[in-house]
Amino acid sequence: MKRLRSLPDRLAAPKPRVASAVTAGSGFHRTDGLSSTQRGYGADWRKARAAHLAREPHCRMCRAEGRLIPAREVDHIEAFHGVDDPLRLADSNLRSLCVPHHRARTARQAHGVGGV
């Protein structure tokens, strides 16, 4: 009797559909290999994020459309460059967004379209 050298395709683990939960639905896959803390989203960011959501609990874009939708994300209006960039934690550079608006903006940025 021959031994199986590898699992048949139908028994192999399915291929992942997205690179990570962080980039799920955003239209791009992270390839830099950096952790969230290395990218500037460590404990100081989580504290600033929580404080911002407490001050601005509704999605800014939905509010501009006349709807009050709870915000779940905090977006950088202008991209920051590195952990030491003052724009990273500046409240004036942050805005609260709902998940759909944040995903749409992130996808536009990932494809080089930018956009507000």
In a domain, 23, yes or no: no
pLDDT at 112 (0 to 100): 74
Grouping H, G, I as helix, E, B as strand and the rest as coil, residue 74 is strand
pLDDT tens sequence across 2-58: 666 665 666 556 665 544 555 554 445 667 788 989 989 999 999 999 999 999 999
**What is d(CA 95, CA 58) in angstroms, rounded to the nearest whole number?**
10
Let me know: does 96 contact 57? Beta carbons within 8 Å: yes
Let me know: does 36 contact 49? Beta carbons within 8 Å: no
Let me know: does 85 contact 95? Beta carbons within 8 Å: no
In a domain, 19, yes or no: no
In a domain, 31, yes or no: no
The residue type of 116 is: V
In a domain, 60, yes or no: yes
**What is d(CA 86, CA 40) in angstroms, rounded to the nearest whole number?**
11
pLDDT at 1 (0 to 100): 59
Name the residue range of residue 62's domain: 39-116
In a domain, 108, yes or no: yes
Grouping H, G, I as helix, E, B as strand and the rest as coil, residue 75 is strand
In a domain, 115, yes or no: yes
- Report the percent of the chain where pLDDT is more than 90: 56
Q: Is the pTM of this model over 0.75?
A: no
In a domain, 1, yes or no: no
Sign of the four-CA dihedral 105, 45, 73, 78: negative
> Domain count of the chain?
1
* β partners of residue 96: 74
